[in-house]
Structure 1
């Protein structure tokens, strides 16, 4: 409707689609967005402008937040489950430069935690705050003397200031020279010990800069917030086991958030390290060696079941574990790696030496980052803005990707939209979504139910959808129709040791 006095357009409806003049295109646009079509091609295919597309993304983001807020109420109210096995890792995303005079990249880092059994992603949190004005924060920080104040006593301690950036550039250069390109567990420990703050793993060099829009958040603050949220979600879970990438910040945040439950033996934490640089040939060779070792052990112990043989091999590795690093963490080599996780090494961070050998071996055998790594893989494959960019020697380490985002806030919105679709819309080969496996949904959610979700009338029975002529008609929503399907699971998701 239009006001006859000020001529502004307004809506009296309580539906979730006010000002959606092309609502009939929403499903098509969202489908293309989640299937790696570049923004310019979406505009061409759907006959819309770029400003309209960004408006649609804002609408999809609001709907995704409203939908997941309603569906995850059960988690916040005390989700009941006997055991949870979780994988935690981080992924970086590059933002294109917007000025030819300054060709440095902005890099965001997002931490995610996924359930190893259901695949459900409980959170995906980038280290970025789009609601702040950088110039205003910098001016206020200088007035308060934050750059000269120890970080623990700053007003804006969680945010990256220009003074922090300059110090980080110098520290990063010195650490990289000392590290010499090594990337084994011992080198990672040495690098952590060399940092002024072992919990901060962010490295800024001359090829990176802080965002021009919004403010970048220190990674350790994002990690602590992430694990404090998980603490709230898992209040009703009997025992929680975390399998985390080897990163001192992740370790500190996890143990700090769950310190009382670690002491009460309700929470355990493990480091998992994988050689992601191994070639396909090397991966196959490692899996073949492990399979040969398993078959020999099975022949030597014919009275044992397959799982008992796996426990036996793991107990042998536990006996050979060696202490590495400043904190003398005991690492072992996983005896049964998969092609997706070659040369897997595991470290038990909360070992009170109170578990029986078989129980301890079982926990080590479950060590994996596959659930969160698969989620990260699909982000790269399905979102054109977040595909891994390519660095060329002539670019001096800078990266440029024609489809990448120019505004970090767009990345934050797309990641939340993707998490909701991954958890509730896309079904695997078993016909179930991660939310169904976890018990938060009874069936896959159709995209229409997400796009036209209304918390006051959920679950929806009928939705008003505009036809192409601009009018409206009431049509039933088919909850299971035209579901987007996952790519087939990775062929090396499981290794048939038997």
Structure 2
């Protein structure tokens, strides 16, 4: 078989081309490398040569060298990003019910989109509404959500039990159903939640006007139990979530797992296509983990260094990124982990890219958006790629936010007391200033003493106003063009927080029995097992989707409002029945 020929960099896919310099201060930011072979030698620039060189083409992860700022962003498969975006956003494109006659002009005209094209025509024996097409006279029915459901009166009880950390066996006991009946119930609730979310969130897709969003983005890992005593390795999957800090609305919670694909079939296709001999970004299935690649990653794995101080943790994260083969991939693959037995695991950086391009679709009507990102080079790259036009137009900014999560309760209290003492002293010294003005003053003082950390000399501000959930916090402004005055910039530093997504993550752990943190035993050599954890990763996908809808539309806060009410997607708290029987 002849050697395959590839373009210089991966070609654009469905409008996505992510292979450009990710340094916002560089003139190459947003300017993709050419897909064509470039002229060389004297006068190459005058013959149309671009400002990149592809390096490491013989390695599994080639990169482009930016001639302007000397950065080396790794190449990514635009097709892989597009596939992940399609998977993540598929719930938004629910198929419309229309005239079943292929020859009729109303065949592609939905009942809900154009009700004037149809006549209500009674109901079926099961109670499903029937319609007749006004053009061809063909009659048809729309099945009710509960058609074919056994014991539909138990749906609400099961929904409530799932959302209140009840283990599956206890749900079966309380609801008086068999375990074989529970999983179809979960499938049904999942379909209904996605249909309900699609109906509401298409308003965002259609450009619903929102003045400002302050969006925190982070990842949470979940464990899948081993199912064979002969192989007690765990599967660890990562979900990226984003939430608005002001309203609490969670826009997405996306697991790096595709349940629709068969890993064995993908492996066969990859081998026959020669994928193992091809660099990752040019593969047919670039976004998916193959077994051989996973085994190679295990052999290359190294334990991360642990540094107690916040600045030390930030430094270690930069150092870890520099030494990775792919700076954007932060997955830790060890010998105690394995790929899922069902479905396929997605390279986490592709889920990150898919997540941010998904947010870009949702935020079309947002006037300005500020992202507060966990310190993760893959997250940074995905955000700066998806929102490049908005960042260049100065309607989008991005910040790293790093929280010291290793402090004891006593250390948190001491830090909080020190902060309050400093604030009171500043108030005493400046009696003419309001509280907010004192805050800005203290932040501006720290802006003059920011630490440069890591290879890229990023400047980090230690936030002067901690709380118990964020006791020690450092912030790095990733898109600083120097065009904001110091007051504006100080106010943005003050807004920087992971509060929105952290609240959701905390509720996931507290309310979903499958996703409670596992406990490692001393003799397990890194392996973990937890009686309530999932055995099938697809259950995690479904429960996260269900819980996101429940959290956004049903759970009220101290202000008696849900996140959906605060952001403008609901007028009141949604009853479970309205989701369960959504048509």
Range into which the TM-score falls when normalised by the shorter chain: 0.7 to 0.9
Say whether 1:300 aligns with 2:429: yes
Report the equivalent of 1:244.
373
How far 1:116 moved relative to its partner?
0.5
Say whether 1:235 aligns with 2:364: yes
- Bigger-Rg structure (1/2): 2
Asked whether the 8 Å contact 1:146–1:154 carries over to 2, the reply is yes
**CA distance in structure 2 between the partners assigned to 1:87 and 1:286 by the alignment:** 23
Report the equivalent of 1:124.
253
Say whether 1:99 aligns with 2:233: no
**CA distance in structure 2 between the partners assigned to 1:329 and 1:69 by the alignment:** 39
Say whether 1:445 aligns with 2:578: no
**CA distance in structure 2 between the partners assigned to 1:68 and 1:247 by the alignment:** 29
Say whether 1:69 aligns with 2:198: yes
Q: Give the aligned length.
A: 442
Report the equivalent of 2:15.
none
Report the equivalent of 1:467.
none
Report the equivalent of 2:560.
431
Report the equivalent of 1:143.
272
How far 1:438 moved relative to its partner?
0.3
Equivalent in 324, 327, 348 of residue 453 of structure 2: 324
Aligned-partner SS, 2:523: helix
Equivalent in 283, 294, 315 of residue 154 of structure 1: 283
* Runs of 4+ more than 4 Å apart: 180-183
**CA distance in structure 1 between the partners assigned to 2:521 and 2:478 by the alignment:** 39
TM-score, scaled relative to structure 1 = 0.87
Report the equivalent of 1:218.
347
**CA distance in structure 1 between the partners assigned to 2:392 and 2:307 by the alignment:** 37
Equivalent in 357, 364, 389 of residue 493 of structure 2: 364
Equivalent in 147, 150, 155 of residue 18 of structure 1: 147
Report the equivalent of 2:383.
254
Asked whether the 8 Å contact 2:306–2:313 carries over to 1, the reply is no
How far 1:79 moved relative to its partner?
2.2
**CA distance in structure 2 between the partners assigned to 1:324 and 1:170 by the alignment:** 30
**CA distance in structure 2 between the partners assigned to 1:432 and 1:20 by the alignment:** 32
Structure ranking higher on relative contact order (CA contacts 8 Å, 6+ apart): 1
Unpaired runs of 5+ in structure 1?
Answer: 1-9, 455-498
Query: What is the CA RMSD across the aligned residues, in angstroms?
Result: 1.2
Unpaired runs of 5+ in structure 2?
Answer: 1-124, 129-142
Per-residue CA deviation, residues 288-310 of structure 1 (Å, 9 max, x unaligned), is 10000000001100100000000
Asked whether the 8 Å contact 2:444–2:490 carries over to 1, the reply is yes
Say whether 1:315 aligns with 2:444: yes
Per-residue CA deviation, residues 461-491 of structure 1 (Å, 9 max, x unaligned), is xxxxxxxxxxxxxxxxxxxxxxxxxxxxxxx
How far 1:181 moved relative to its partner?
6.1
Name which of structure 1's ranges 324-333 and 118-127 shifts more when overlaid on structure 2.
324-333
Aligned-partner SS, 1:199: coil
Equivalent in 303, 318, 332 of residue 189 of structure 1: 318
**CA distance in structure 2 between the partners assigned to 1:81 and 1:449 by the alignment:** 26
**CA distance in structure 1 between the partners assigned to 2:451 and 2:514 by the alignment:** 42
Per-residue CA deviation, residues 201-254 of structure 1 (Å, 9 max, x unaligned), is 001101100001000000111000100011111111111100010000100000
Report the equivalent of 1:412.
541
Report the equivalent of 1:470.
none
**CA distance in structure 1 between the partners assigned to 2:481 and 2:452 by the alignment:** 16
How far 1:37 moved relative to its partner?
0.7
How far 1:168 moved relative to its partner?
1.3
Aligned-partner SS, 1:268: strand
Aligned-partner SS, 1:390: coil
Say whether 1:421 aligns with 2:550: yes
C-alpha spacing 1:12/1:149, structure 2 compared with 1 (3 Å): farther
Equivalent in 204, 207, 211 of residue 82 of structure 1: 211
Asked whether the 8 Å contact 1:11–1:19 carries over to 2, the reply is no
